[in-house]
Structure 1
Amino acid sequence: MKTVLAILSTLLVTITASAQDYKSFPMWNPKLPIEQRVNDVVSRLTLEEKVAQMLNATPAIPRLGIPAYDWWNEVLHGVARTPFKTTVFPQAIGMAATWDTTSLFRMADYSALEGRAIYNKAVEQGRTAERYLGLTYWTPNINIFRDPRWGRGQETYGEDPFLTAMLGRAFVRGLQGEDPKYLKAAACAKHFAVHSGPEPSRHSDNFNPAVYDLWDTYLPAFKELIVDANVAGVMCAYNAINNQPCCGNDLLMNDILRKQWKFTGYVTSDCWAIDDFFKYHKTHKDATSSAIDAVVHGTDIECGQTVYKTLVDAVKNGLITEAQLDVSLKRLFTIRYRLGMFDPLSMVKYAQTPASVLESAPHKTHALKMAQQSIVLLKNEKNVLPLSKSIKKIVVVGPNADNSIAVLGNYNGTPSEIVTVLKGIQNKLGSKAEVVYEKAINFTNDTLLVYTDMRKQYSFDGKNGFKAEYFNNKELQGNPVVTQTEETVDHFWQEGSQVVGNLNAYNFSARYTTNYTADKDGFITFEVEADDGYKFSIDDKSVLDAWTRNRWGARTYRLKAEKGKTYKLVLEYWQGEGKANVKLRAGNFEQTNYAALLSKVSDADAIVYVGGISPQLEGEEMRVDYPGFNGGDRTTILLPTVQTELMKKLHSTGKPVVFVMMTGSAIATPWESENIPAIVNAWYGGQSAGTAVADVLFGDYNPAGRLPVTFYKSDNDLPSFLDYGMDGRTYRYFKGEALYPFGHGLSYSTFAYSGLQLPKTITTNKPVTVTVTVKNTGKRDGDEVVQLYVSHQTKSKAPVRALKGFKRISLKAGESKTISFKLTPEELSLVNETTGKYYQPKGNVQISVGGGQPGVKNKTTSNVLSSTMQVL
């Protein structure tokens, strides 16, 4: 016994000494090269520790001093889903509409600073294990928005590979910083590759893109970010390509990414994508074979936490070597070292970033600037816009007029203040004008639930309100961690934010119980709105049950109540990942009283209708039951009929009607474009969207946004959603007439182009300089977006035209500027249909420069100049 105790005592001393001495290991020596330090830390890990470090949520390793860390974080248009208040910029598609790489660089730079401040807080508070507090951001989304029906297209930079590549490069450089040693934050190009819907079938879809389309459309932006912008990470997609899941794809992962592009950064799977190998694609027999194949193909992290755990036994059984895991581990630890996570804080300048940068004045100013820049003036007949500030009465109508959800988009943070369009107009006009607001209709119907204040009719244990119980699991199991009385059920939490006490909004559940006493006979409608799963019961009978992921869904139940009778109400709710939202409201449905509405606008000076769609209808894999929408995608690109019918009624009053459209994608508006005199596309403009819209409507900002996508006339213009061939898609291959073409956008000024200069002949593999002079011929200062398109006059397969240069410039009234573009040989090249290689064809090529595409009329750009150049 004494011998055993002596051995245990010696072992304990050894372990304690090792724990105390880990700082002496090379892995902790900041004077050594990162590669040497990475090799050292990987060599010290056990097999079990190695596998655990290949999951998105990595545990701490105390014996080596390695803190826990979760790789999953989001910064699509500002730091997202964090428990802290952050600056929210316009949704990605809105930022793309700015056509301003400098603004996007600055936005990413500011976002990285806010992310650093949050991470620094997490380190101080010992919270590095929590999701959405790290420095590895799974952004940008540089998939090509090939079809406007895709609900996640709002997260992209549009339909054009060149525009996407340039904006994506600016974002990566702004986010990652320019320090020679340390990354400010780590960007991640996603989803690699050929991924743009449909959402409902994304886990099982297999696409077989032509070699030409793969290299001409789907890969250029990834190549730009990986080869030239040195993006730190890549996320592989859910779907399969050529019958192999993207995260285990020979062509994409091994050949192109690692061999051709020589990518040395890390790759993460999309979340639970490795499960899809055997659950949905059926390309693998089980979790173990899926995990092995993903690792062999260079997927370093499994986001999902389950399948890679089988790698421990796989190594022990000789199915994969530990050395193969080491390859991934070295990539992962290299990123963490480059982020300064293993160096003294004093050495890492970004570690000094203070919390005061969160929502700082420059950041909020830039959020407003980008919202202003993003707004596209689609139509402005008879100079209806700008409106006069001396206006006496204005009526603001529509489902997006006061919708704070819509302006934030998806993958968003939570700012301290959100300005809706209604609030922006009210702030603009102050007490000088009467501003009348009517929601009037929902997005797809004209039957509104008119809410009733029920607080006096809810009681529990003799107290008004609800008994609220909160649990630290999703199953309402065990004792609640907090029980309290709440006046109403009306909650919104970002994931990770504080719910109650020490309970954070992540994988939790709640139960709300009350007794409702009817004050009269008749029907009462209860509405439950929730972001995840819920059950609503009346007198212990379930009447609404959506115990699956729901995402912003609202459901109703109509109860025939008896005066004086008491009904027991129980709402159970669970939240998994992402933002949490749960509300219980009551009232009765009423159809819109159009006569009363038109009476209110009869003496108005102007009507602003704010409609379109919202992230409540389009987004990632979401449940939506409204007509025209499916699983986050759209089944039609037409504006919902109820909105058109309302605008017809408003138009019939003879009052000037302005249509402010919010959307993350192209909407077909044939009647509106023919009849409504002014149409403004405002996207999902971020925290200052309403201020920006008001600035444009009343002429304090001269709009200059340009469409990053084609607005088609109808569904008939679209090929099958499942068809990934590019024929007939986007402005590059669509041969019909668009409602509003890619690159379109009007101004309150006019611009003229002159002096286009370029050589008449060139030889292959030589760059070409193109210059042009632009003059503001209007009476207002304003921005112009100068666009350069290349069109090859060849029998080989080629785009109708392709954007190869753009610059957003500011011009005072009457001012001229000479703009220069330098076209590289690759930008003057085409893609070989068989090999996918770039080649520069001989013959004629047309170069066009102007405020839009050649051959497309634009009332504020007087001309687009074109010249033909011969390649010898």
Structure 2
Amino acid sequence: MDSYHFSSFFLCMITGFLVLIPPYYSTTLASAAAATPQHASEPGAIETGGKNYSKVCDAARFEALGLRKDDFAYCDSSLPYPARVKDLVGRMTLVEKILQLGDRAQGVGRIGLPKYGWWSEALHGIAVTGHATYFGDVVPAATSFPNVILAAASFNESLWKKIGQAVSTEGRAMYNLGHTGLNFWSPNVNVVRDPRWGRVLETPGEDPFVVGRYAVNFVRGMQDVEGTENVQDLDSRPLKVSTCCKHYAAYDLDNWFGVSRLHFDARVTEQDMVETFVRPFEMCVKEGDASSIMCSYNRVNGVPACADAKLLSQTLRNDWQLHGYIVSDCDSVEVMHERLKWLGDTAEDAVGQAMKAGLDLDCGLGNLNYYENYTLSAVAQGKVRESDIDNALKNLYMVLMRAGFFDNIEAYENLGLNDICTKEHIHLAADAARQAIVLLKNNLTLPLDPKKYKDVVLVGPHAKATKAMIGNYEGIPCRYVSPLDAIAKDVRVDYHEGCDVHCRSSRSVRPAVEAAKKAKATIIVAGLGLEVEREELDRNDLLLPGFQTELINRVAEASAGPVVLVIMAGGCVDVSFAQNNPKIGAILWAGYPGQEGGQAIADVIFGRHNPGGRLPLTWYKNEYVDALPMTSMQLRPNDQLGYPGRTYKFFNGTSLYPFGHGMSYTQFSYSRKNDSGIFLPIKVDNHHLCKLPSDKANATVDSHCPSISVDALGCKEEISFEVDVTNVGKVDGDDVVLVYSKPPKGVADAPLKQLVAFQRVYVESGKTSSVKFSLNACKALNLVEKTAYVVLHSGEHAIVVGDGDSAVSFPVEIELQL
């Protein structure tokens, strides 16, 4: 008798379940699951008797099952959700409950509960990834938007929300057609700590505030049902679809020189955790009302994230008040036991530790996962209580209640094929790419006049890109518009690939070089691809692969006319050679721009769109990777080891392009209407609330209050100001106004600066737009100390608007008054 059969039999014998459970429910989990057909794709929509239903609690569906809907209180829409969920869970036997704990929930036919697939993805459009989504027959495609790192470069919160709204509309339509579920495990809100990380393309960049604002807007766009955005009872707030912010926490290494995410122990200070790694997740839960969080594979300071009660139950549920469920990255519980050998425990121990830490749903890549395989024996061994299982199921089914799985949501009942790949969504995909493309260099080369440059040589591994434009966690797009397709509509094109992304040989470079000698202008589209950067594949360097640099240099040198270089990549690329090459007049970064990417690139090159994107992450020179290992989690510089800092907040070296860099075809100037500084006296009721700086622990507090915990203060003071943005050039365009705070001088370990606000504004040539900001003083000026306290320091802070010579700044004096 194998362990699964033995544990089930043992449990039944010691508890009397053989008497309590009908014979056909006293089967083992393995045989129960085997009786349920398994498919390569298991859509979340409800199929009964060969017919799809849009809701569980359809009277006709129950009749087809030989049941009466009115006999089941969980289908009584007059009852509150908690009462309905309690009734549903209470009707299940222990074995039946356990079979709902995996991402392919088996359902319980005798009570009318269907199977359900929890795993769908929608990172930048409905994706093929997951067990619950499939394309084909009825739904051949869905709109593919730019990958997240490029969308983030727009610094446009309303755009991020619109993308979420469009994706959720298509997701809801696909659900109605039986092609997906209602739960989408997106977005990825991990902060990019290291430029070598293979999943940079999936994220909103290196700044935790920007990442958090992206999360809030995308989640709100996906989840919010119009008219219910401000419902106070979050457990009853309906969801258009359910989202999941991932991967929690301190996860940003996949596979670097043999160090795998499955084994990696992220040694992180509490200061860095609070300041950087968990901040986007906190914003996602508190401000976005995300209905799910996914825990990551890695350990955090020795403890697997999915078994860390401090991270899950204490922080997510108790501190942040998550209204939703917690799911594992797929096979994380198995990884804890079989790969990490966590505490040398058994499989049942791993299940018990994860469930008691707060993990509700176990995603498994195989047919049966650890929760389904080992929870029954874990109960028998006293390592899991049935009440723990009940609590997990309540968290899961509350979300499905809110998402309309049981009752549907009237506003979305009629969504269907006509709501997928609409003209509006395709236009939005193109506009998103246009808004986000970043102009890195321009020596009066762009825009090109297609009337002047009628013949163009188009060169490079991505010049004819289609699938490469949509990156990973991709769907099947409505169509592809490659750079070649789009550019050929404006000019005559002589196309030469030169080489593929790996570019292992320079033999095919010569035809491209010969063509460039005769062309009016040359456009080179080069970069990276999923062959170089993706999940489970980190980079070893920041260079272009193979002979791509030689291809670019030789073509540029031979070119008779202006040369434009377009880089498709998620992570940064050291293109110092191109920045310093006078023959290369302009450089564009196009990320992975989605299905309409070619059109967006052409619109920027030929001047139909004035680029306004800004880099959401620092572009380092390649020497950075030799300065510190990817496994070092510390963000601040380590002088003893010679490590430079990470991200613009702490990097103490010279970058190729700094965070926020981005040029335009016009020029903008800033001015502040009131040039004076701001004085903010803040009353502190009790001197015991004052906090000494952690580096001055031996000092004493007198009448002066050096700093105070923000949680204790609860301040409402605002820093309000207006900035005039004037377009002093000759072309209308968008400008991204970035607002930073700088700490008082002498504060130990403080960031060089930190972003606290941003707005994208359109300004016509010769005109001025006034941009208003109102910042909460505690949120904008707080700092995280070594001890992980979030504090507001007294003294002279600074607000800086913009970067470089055009920036304007003013002091903000904080006086904490006892």
TM-score normalised by length of structure 2: 0.81
Given that 1:719 and 1:729 are in contact with CA atoms closer than 8 Å, whether structure 2 keeps it comes out as no
Aligned to 1:840: 792
Q: How far is the alpha carbon of 1:17 from its aligned partner?
A: 13
Alpha-carbon distance in 2 for matches of 1:223, 1:690: 36
Residues 607 and 656 in structure 1, CA contact (< 8 A), matched pair in contact too: yes
Q: CA RMSD in A?
A: 2.0
**1:756/1:865 contact within 8 Å kept:** no
Local SS of the residue matching 2:284: helix
User: What CA distance in whole angstroms lies between the structure 1 residues aligned with 2:510 and 2:386?
Assistant: 74
Distance 2:339 2:264 in 1: 9
Structure 1 residue 762 corresponds to structure 2 residue 714 = no
Q: In the alignment, is residue 224 of structure 1 matched against residue 142 of structure 2? A: no
CA distance in 2, matches of 1:824, 1:869: 12
How big is the shift at 1:287? 1.6
Show the counterpart of 1:445. 503
How far did 1:242 drift? 1.5
Q: Name the CA shift for 1:402/1:29 in 2 (closer, same or farther; >3 Å).
A: same
Q: Distance in 2 between matches of 1:834 and 1:263?
A: 27
1:354 and 1:446 map into 2 onto residues whose CA distance is 46
Q: Pick one of 610, 621, 636 that aligns with 2:541.
A: 636
Which of residues 615, 628, 636 in structure 2 aligns to 1:719? 628
Matched residue type, 2:579: S
CA distance in structure 1 between the partners assigned to 2:509 and 2:69 by the alignment:
74
Is this contact kept in 1: 2:289–2:323, CA < 8 A?
A: no
Q: Of 204, 218, 224, which residue of structure 2 is paired with 1:171? A: 218
**Which is worse superposed, 436-445 or 380-389?**
380-389
Question: Is 1:290 paired with 2:350?
Answer: yes
What is aligned with 2:391? 327
User: 1:421 & 1:408 partners in 2: Cα distance?
Assistant: 13
How many Å apart are 1:869 and its aligned residue?
Answer: 1.7
Letter in 2 for 1:91: N
Partner of 1:308: 371
Q: What is the Cα deviation at residue 797 of structure 1? A: 2.2
- Show CA shifts across 1:349-402 (max 9, x none): 222223201000110010000010110000001334334344231000001111
Match of 1:747 in 2: 664
Structure 2 CA distance for aligned equivalents of residues 744 and 95 of structure 1 = 15
Q: SS at the partner of 1:607?
A: strand
Equivalent pair of 1:750/1:778 in contact (CA under 8 Å) = yes
Distance 1:155 1:174 in 2: 18
Matches within 5 A, 1:352-501: 352-427=414-489, 429=490, 433-447=491-505
Equivalent of 2:602 in 671, 691, 694:
694
- Partner SS state of residue 665, structure 1: coil
* 2:151 maps to which of 75, 95, 98: 95
- Say if 2:798 and 2:811, in contact at 8 Å, map to a contact too: yes
* Secondary structure, counterpart of 1:170 in structure 2: helix
Aligned to 1:39: 86
Structure 2 match to 1:501? none
List per-residue Cα deviations over 1:172-204 (Å, max 9, x = no partner). Answer: 100002343421000101001100013350001
How far has the Cα of 1:76 moved from its partner? 0.3
Contact 2:446 2:605 in 1 (8 A): no
Letter in 1 for 2:387: A
The one of 243, 253, 273 aligned to 1:197 = 253
Cα-to-partner distance string for 1:239-288 (whole Å, 9 max, x where unaligned): 00121100001321132112211223100000011111112221142221
- The one of 540, 555, 580 equivalent to 1:674 is 580
Match of 1:773 among 724, 737, 749: 724
Deviation string, structure 1 residues 649-681 (Cα, Å, up to 9, x no partner): 122224321110000111111111111220000
Hey, what does 1:868 align to over in structure 2?
811
> Deviation at 1:318?
2.6
1:470 equivalent in structure 2: none
Residues 360 and 760 of structure 1: CA distance in aligned 2, closer, same or farther (over 3 Å): same
| Cα-to-partner distance string for 1:593-637 (whole Å, 9 max, x where unaligned) | 44443222221011111001012321112xxxxxxxxxx111001
| Deviation per residue, 1:528-575 (Å, 9 max, x gap) | xxxxxxxxxxxxxxxxxxxxxxxxxxxxxxxxxxxxxxxxxxxxxxxx
- Between the aligned partners of 1:667 and 1:774, the Cα distance in structure 2 is 31
Residue type at the aligned position of 1:198: D
* 1:352 alignment partner, SS class: coil
Q: Match of 2:19?
A: none
Which of 269, 291, 294 matches 1:210?
269
Q: Is 2:608 aligned against 1:665?
A: no
Give, in whole Å, the separation in 1 of the partners of 2:416 and 2:384: 45
Q: CA deviation at 1:22?
A: 4.6
Partner deviation per Cα, 1:772-810 (whole Å, 9 max, x = no partner): 100111111110001101110242321100010100111
Deviation of residue 831 (structure 1)? 3.8
1:19–1:64 contact (8 Å) kept in structure 2: no
**Distance of aligned partners of 1:749 and 1:19 in 2 relative to their CA distance in 1, 3 Å threshold:** same
In structure 2, what is the equivalent of residue 610 of structure 1? 525
CA distance in 2, matches of 1:597, 1:356: 43
* Distance change (3 Å), C-alpha of 1:349 and 1:746: same
The answer to which structure has the higher strand fraction is 1
Shift of 1:417: 1.2
Write the deviation string for residues 710-729 of structure 1: whole angstroms up to 9, x where unpaired.
Answer: 00122336532001110200
Residue 641 of structure 1: CA displacement? Answer: 5.1
CA distance in 2 between partners of 1:141 and 1:834 (Å): 27
CA contact (8 A) 1:373 1:704 kept: yes
Q: Distance in 1 between matches of 2:527 and 2:370?
A: 41
For residue 164 of structure 2, what is the aligned residue in structure 1? Answer: 108
**Is 1:389–1:698's contact at 8 Å kept on the other side of the alignment?**
no
Q: 5 Å matches for 1:588-603?
A: 592-603=507-518
1:342 paired residue among 406, 411, 415: 406
Residue 844 of structure 1 and its aligned partner are, at CA, apart by 1.2
Letter in 2 for 1:403: A
1:61 aligned to 103, 108, 113, which one?
A: 108
Output aligned runs, 1:506-545, within 5 Å.
none
Cα displacement (A) at 1:99 = 0.5
* 2:766 aligned counterpart, secondary structure: coil
Distance in 1 between the 2:653 and 2:681 partners? 34
Q: Which deviates further from its counterpart, 733-742 or 265-274?
A: 733-742
Contact 1:409 1:614 in 2 (8 A): yes
> In structure 2, do the counterparts of structure 1 residues 664 and 276 end up closer, same or farther at CA, with 3 Å as the change threshold?
same
Give the 3-state SS of the residue equivalent to 1:652 in structure 2: helix
1:238 aligns with 2:297: yes
Q: Deviations over 1:490-526 (max 9, x none)?
A: xxxxxxxxxxxxxxxxxxxxxxxxxxxxxxxxxxxxx
Residues 437, 589 of structure 2: 8 Å contact kept: yes
Is residue 2:650 matched to residue 1:733?
yes
In the alignment, is the contact (CA less than 8 A) between 2:785 and 2:791 conserved in 1? no
Tell me the SS of whatever aligns to 1:771.
strand
Q: What is the TM-score of this pair, normalised by structure 1?
A: 0.76
> 1:17 & 1:443 partners in 2: Cα distance?
55
Which residue among 299, 306, 310 is the counterpart of 1:247? 306
- 75, 88, 98: which one pairs with 1:28? 75
SS in 2 for 1:301: coil
State how far apart, in whole Å, the 2-side matches of 1:744 and 1:867 are. 22
Cα separation, 2, equivalents of 1:23 and 1:290: 40
The letter of the residue matching 1:418 is Y
CA distance in 2, matches of 1:605, 1:701: 22
Alignment of 1:791 onto 2:697:
no
What's the CA shift string for 1:214-239, capped at 9, x where partnerless? 11111111111111211000000000
Q: SS at 1:203's partner residue?
A: coil
Deviation per residue, 1:408-429 (Å, 9 max, x gap): 11001111310111111012x1
Please say if residues 498 and 511 of structure 2, whose CA atoms lie closer than 8 Å, have aligned partners that are also in contact.
no
Question: Following the alignment from structure 2 to structure 1, what is the Cα–Cα distance between the partners of residues 381 and 742?
Answer: 58
Give the Cα separation in 2 of the matches to 1:341 and 1:393: 56
Q: Give the SS at the match of 2:495.
A: strand
SS of residue matched to 2:762: strand
